[in-house]
Amino acid sequence: MNIIRTLLDYYIFALILDAILSFFPNLQEKKWRKQLKKVCDFSCDPIRRILPPNLPFDFSPFLVILTINLLRFLW
């Protein structure tokens, strides 16, 4: 049970890191950055399809983190 919580904490950290790194365009072509983006887009892409496309900011990482924390609270 504790392992799952730790993995969720690491995933939340990865989502926050991905959101911060999206503001640095010179890092977009790095191999580690592409891997991080691929891992984070796994959960953010379904939410991005639901949200309106004309939003000024990508709220999908925030909503994924909120959902993970809600599930952790209920679990």
| Residue-level pLDDT at 53 | 87
C-alpha span between 18 and 43 (Å, rounded): 12
Provide the b/e sequence for 4-16 (b: ≥16 CB within 10 Å): eeeebeebbeebe
Query: Angle CA(54)–CA(59)–CA(63) in degrees, nearest 5?
Result: 140
**pLDDT tens digit at each of 75 positions of the chain:** 789 899 999 999 999 999 999 999 999 999 999 999 999 999 999 999 999 989 898 899 999 999 999 998 987
pTM: 0.89
Domains of the chain, by residue range, sit at 2-74
